[in-house]
């Protein structure tokens, strides 16, 4: 029976009903069964066969949630809007993708690591959280779109702008979605944070209230949204810097002294979809390549376990108000230290 349910989860039949539900990400509490799930999400299916298929997926994920939580451990799961969706459907959100065009551009990049305020590990605080400083916007929701790369790019830049100016200004993911194709990005089909930084260095980026997020790629309107005084609504960077793959000490230094990091990770496991809280220690995420872009906004320790604080783009109703804690100093857990970069202002 369990093998059959696993097969259902791996099936690749995309269904518009489930994807349309990703226009919102409701907070679900104490979901008892599939009928309760449908009541709380408002999901509807075109026929009974589809309903049975979705219920089979739900049952499998509920079994995983119950098993994980009953076992105890460092993290908890819960049932959310993804609970009736196939692996392939949820994978549409995993948009960290390398492209030939983007790699040709970034291959010419000369990496320059700015001097951090405190370069010695002895001088760094044991914990640091840019949320506590006021330098992190609330977690956004990418919807049924593989635009995580744009959220990662803007999230890191927002934090660095805050550190420089003391003002937290939300930046436009849609601007990157619509306008950065020539830099190797593919809108809802994926992209990479370094390609986003390349674009911002050359063209700047608009404020979010001038160019709101639409959950789909549109015609580029950056020039229109800039207004009469573009300097007031366009943010540019001098360049960006990469962290050497696996260097978690340098990650710590940059976060504690300069600002958040735009990083890639593997978010493929079902447990990631259904994450509710705690330090996420599912070894499944170490078995595959990175596929999702996030922002690392801080670090700390709990009961002897070091962790990174990750900002995701699945809304404030996922995880710990949109955030996750991930093992730190654990060999780049989930690949979190493999592809990290940050803007230079």
Give per-residue pLDDT as tens, 121-147.
668 999 999 999 999 999 999 999 999
Reply yes or no on whether 292 is catalytic: yes
pLDDT of 5 higher than 50 = no
Residue 187 phi, psi (nearest 5):
60, -125
β-sheet bridge partners, residue 275:
77
Q: Per DSSP, which regions of the chain are E strands? A: 75-77, 128-129, 205-206, 234-235, 239-243, 261-265, 275-278, 292-302, 305-311, 323-327, 340-344
> How many percent of the chain have pLDDT more than 90?
86
Distance CA 241, CA 53 (A): 46
Strand 340-344 relative to strand 239-243: parallel, antiparallel, unpaired? antiparallel
The pLDDT-based confidence of 23 (bands split at 50, 70, 90) is confident
The region of weakest confidence among 16-20, 46-50, 65-69, 102-106 is 16-20
Q: Cβ distance 272 to 279 under 8 Å?
A: no
145 is catalytic: no
Mean pLDDT of the chain: 91
Phi first, then psi, for residue 320 (nearest 5°) are -90, 80
Dihedral sign from CA coordinates of 241, 186, 260, 207: positive
Mean pLDDT of all residues in 101-123: 81
Helix (H) or strand (E) holding 272: helix 270-273
Query: Cα separation of 208 and 212, whole Å?
Result: 5
Q: How high is the pLDDT of residue 24? A: 86
Point out the least confidently predicted range of 84-93, 96-105, 113-122, 135-144: 113-122
Selecting among 145, 148, 179, 220, the annotated active-site residue is 148
Q: What is the pLDDT, as a whole number, of residue 6? A: 42
Q: Pick the catalytic residue from 160, 292, 334, 340.
A: 292
Please report where in the chains the tokens 């670090």 appear, as a residue: 299
> At 228, is the pLDDT very low, low, confident or very high (cuts 50, 70, 90)?
very low
Q: Which of 179, 312, 334, 340 is catalytic?
A: 312
Tell me what the mean pLDDT of segment 43-57 comes to: 96
- Answer yes or no: is pLDDT of 233 > 90: no
Q: Is the model's pLDDT at 303 over the cut of 50?
A: yes
């Amino acid at each position: 029976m369990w093998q059959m349910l696993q097969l259902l989860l791996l099936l690749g039949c995309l269904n518009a009903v489930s994807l349309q539900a990703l226009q919102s990400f409701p907070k679900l509490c104490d979901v008892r069964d599939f009928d309760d799930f449908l009541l709380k999400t408002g999901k509807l299916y075109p026929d009974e066969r589809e309903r049975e298929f979705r219920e089979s997926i739900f049952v499998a994920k509920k079994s995983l949630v119950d098993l994980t939580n009953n076992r105890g451990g460092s993290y908890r799961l819960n049932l959310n809007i993804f609970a009736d969706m196939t692996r392939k459907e949820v994978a549409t959100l995993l948009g960290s993708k390398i492209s030939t065009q983007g790699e040709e551009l970034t291959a010419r990049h000369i990496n320059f690591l700015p001097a951090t305020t405190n370069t010695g590990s002895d001088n760094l605080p044991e914990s640091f959280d840019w949320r506590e400083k006021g330098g992190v916007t609330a977690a956004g929701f990418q919807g049924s779109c593989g635009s995580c790369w744009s959220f990662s790019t803007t999230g890191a830049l927002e934090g660095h702008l805050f550190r420089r100016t003391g003002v937290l200004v939300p930046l436009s993911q849609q601007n990157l979605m619509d306008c950065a194709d020539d830099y190797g990005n593919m809108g809802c089909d994926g992209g990479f944070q370094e390609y986003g930084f390349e674009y911002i260095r050359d063209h700047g980026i608009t404020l979010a209230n001038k160019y709101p997020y639409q959950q789909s790629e549109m015609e580029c309107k950056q020039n229109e949204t800039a207004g009469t005084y573009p300097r007031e609504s366009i943010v540019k960077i001098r360049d960006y810097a990469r962290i050497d793959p696996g260097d978690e000490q340098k990650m710590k230094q940059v976060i504690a002294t300069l600002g958040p990091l735009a990083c890639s990770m593997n978010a493929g496991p079902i447990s990631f979809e259904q994450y509710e809280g705690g330090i996420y220690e599912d070894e499944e995420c170490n078995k595959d390549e990175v596929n999702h872009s996030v922002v690392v906004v801080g670090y700390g320790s709990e009961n002897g376990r070091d962790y990174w604080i990750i900002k995701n783009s699945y809304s404030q109703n996922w995880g710990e108000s949109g955030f996750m804690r991930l093992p730190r100093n654990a060999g780049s857990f989930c690949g979190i230290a493999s592809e990290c970069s940050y803007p230079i202002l």
